[in-house]
Structure 1
Amino acid sequence: MPVTLADKRATFRKLHETGCFVLPNPFDVGSAKALQQLGFKALASTSAGFAWTVGKADNRVTLDEVCAHLTALCAAVDLPVNADFEGGFAHKPEKVAAHVARGVQTGVAGLSIEDSTGDAAKPLYERAFAIERIKAARSAIDADRSGVLLTGRCEGFLVGQTDLNMVIDRLCAYADAGADCLYAPGIKTKEQISAVVKAVSPKPVNLLIGASGLSVAEAADLGVRRISVGGSLARTAWAGFMRAAREMAEQGTFTELAKGFPGGELNKMFG
């Protein structure tokens, strides 16, 4: 039987109830299909990874571009897709709500809203205003009874504000405002992770793991429910591309091309 959107959303919520699952971040339709074939249970978009595919820096893509990308990802796979929806592509709560309502229509099973402003002088929204933005996203999701899972993100550790108590305070406030899952990208130590998990319990926590960090088993032992990798898969793909391209441009040789994934295997995977 075909997998319906309702099935995807119900499955995604169920995944957050027990255990710990990996939510890898594809950057285009091909990488999404590959991850599905590898047996992952759900996927998440990556704002950075997608931006690089269209030749832009992270946080420079438009709402139209992101919604088209999310629609393509959701249509390409039978898995639930969580959207990296950045800050909702707006400042004011009412605009965030309108954009979230549009994001829900792309077919996503989950969606995250962060509290970073993009302003280096004042990198996080004022606490009360950030809470209103989460409430607005919650209202937009509930308006059509979509069942989309809302993740509230505190970007403190990514913008140099590493006061864990502040981050936890915000995450708890976002949970009270209606966030189903909480996320503080940048926390790394077992002590930090454990503190966040305990503070927002019983709501689930997403953990970002990049080039190094805990294993799935270690994260699960700390109570983490899901693990995402952000733009790491995209950066890994770009690493191979840039090594080969630079060798051709700078040395006039082609040895790096021999390290490419076999074309025949790719054709089988997508055939």
Structure 2
Amino acid sequence: MTTFTELHRAGDPLILPTAWDHASARLLAARRFPAIGTTSLGVAAAAGLPDGAAATREETLRLALALGTEPFLLSVDAEGGFGDDPEEVGEFARELAAVGAVGINLEDGLGSAARHAEKIAAVKAAAPGLFVNARTDTYWLGDGEGTRSRLEAYRQAGADGLFVPGLTDPAEIAALVRDFDGIPLNVLYTPDGPAVAHLADLGVRRISLGSLLYRRALGAAVDALADIRAGRRPGGSAPSYGEVRALSGQSGAGASKISVSRSANATGCSSAPR
């Protein structure tokens, strides 16, 4: 069986779709993605809570519990670890590993790099087998300043992968791949940024979708409602009532029955099934 670490391949990067609940995760897994992530924005918004404010610890753990025994590899977006105390973050990571998660995404929010490194080290001590994707927000929240020094600190602390959302410049992406050779670089896919094939050529080994699918789902719902109100037949695709019911089955039962056609694939991942 291919491990989560082994899915981070040069030339054939891991495309990580992100779910916000049990049904969305199983629907994505039915498209033969070997690993599914979670989106902190989707989890928070679905619960009526703010994202990035350490407000969804229990919701995130509950979702991990629901998904950890499913027949796909699960990586959990844990914001900044839902706390500032590295030991508490390590304990949360241990709980994630105990329910079956294989990865965790930790963001620094442009806070103290030293404290974030301590969190990474605490996670590796508490759950050594958990793949730690260490995210820096230097491009997401800033102008990119300090990216390399932060990533180096996180690598030294034991991070298994490095994540730089907001970075879209091909030359800078390629430079980071070279500078941090040996550890997977993760970037966030954006429709206006480099295509999947281009990112693969640059050496990126993981491509995350962040909150894109959740936001697209909300947009599709609003568009469908507008069509209905205007007397038009809604476009796009939708699983049937029975197919959605099948998503709540036990450990894989029914997931393979979902065969919803999609008119477009914004991730360009026709080669994603492995």
TM bucket normalised to smaller: 0.7 to 0.9
Aligned match for 1:38, one of 31, 35, 46: 31
Q: CA deviation at 1:246?
A: 5.4
Contact 2:177 2:185 in 1 (8 A): yes
Q: 1:65 to 1:254 in 2, by over 3 A?
A: farther
Q: CA deviation at 1:170?
A: 0.7
3-state SS of 2:147 partner: helix
Q: Which amino acid aligns with 1:71?
A: L
Aligned to 1:188: 168
By percentage of residues, which structure has more helix? 1
Which ranges in structure 2 are unaligned for 5 or more consecutive residues?
Answer: 245-256, 260-274
Aligned to 2:238: 261
Matches within 5 A, 1:71-220: 71-75=65-69, 77-116=70-109, 124-142=110-128, 147-163=129-145, 166-220=146-200
Contact 1:109 1:148 in 2 (8 A): yes
Aligned to 1:4: none
- Spell out, residue by residue over 1:127-177, the C-alpha distance to the aligned partner (whole angstroms, 9 max, x if none): 3222222211221112xxxx22111111111112422xx111111110111
1:63 aligns with 2:94: no
3-state SS of 2:51 partner: coil
1:28 aligns with 2:21: yes
Q: Distance in 2 between matches of 1:138 and 1:262?
A: 40
Aligned to 1:13: 5
3-state SS of 1:99 partner: helix
Q: 1:206 to 1:247 in 2, by over 3 A?
A: same
Q: 1:253 to 1:17 in 2, by over 3 A?
A: closer
Q: Which amino acid aligns with 1:242?
A: V
Contact 2:37 2:77 in 1 (8 A): yes
3-state SS of 1:129 partner: helix
3-state SS of 2:203 partner: coil
Q: 1:41 to 1:259 in 2, by over 3 A?
A: closer
Q: CA deviation at 1:262?
A: 5.1
- Pairwise CA RMSD: 2.3
Q: Distance in 2 between matches of 1:218 and 1:59?
A: 30
- Spell out, residue by residue over 1:86-109, the C-alpha distance to the aligned partner (whole angstroms, 9 max, x if none): 100001222222222222222111
Q: Distance in 2 between matches of 1:152 and 1:220?
A: 20
Count residues in correspondence.
Answer: 246
Q: 1:111 to 1:255 in 2, by over 3 A?
A: same
3-state SS of 1:112 partner: strand
Contact 1:15 1:21 in 2 (8 A): yes
- Spell out, residue by residue over 1:17-42, the C-alpha distance to the aligned partner (whole angstroms, 9 max, x if none): 54312111122222212222212121
Q: Distance in 1 between matches of 2:25 and 2:231?
A: 29
Q: CA deviation at 1:67?
A: 0.2
Q: Which amino acid aligns with 1:241?
A: A
Identity %: 32
Aligned match for 1:234, one of 214, 219, 223: 214
Q: Distance in 2 between matches of 1:132 and 1:33?
A: 34
Q: Which amino acid aligns with 2:216?
A: T
Q: Distance in 1 between matches of 2:239 and 2:134?
A: 40
Contact 2:224 2:235 in 1 (8 A): no
- Spell out, residue by residue over 1:27-84, the C-alpha distance to the aligned partner (whole angstroms, 9 max, x if none): 2222212222212121111101222222333235421111001111223x31111111
Which ranges in structure 1 are unaligned for 5 or more consecutive residues?
Answer: 1-6, 117-123
- Spell out, residue by residue over 1:161-197, the C-alpha distance to the aligned partner (whole angstroms, 9 max, x if none): 422xx11111111011100111111100101211221
3-state SS of 2:3 partner: helix
3-state SS of 2:26 partner: helix
Q: Distance in 1 between matches of 2:37 and 2:23?
A: 14
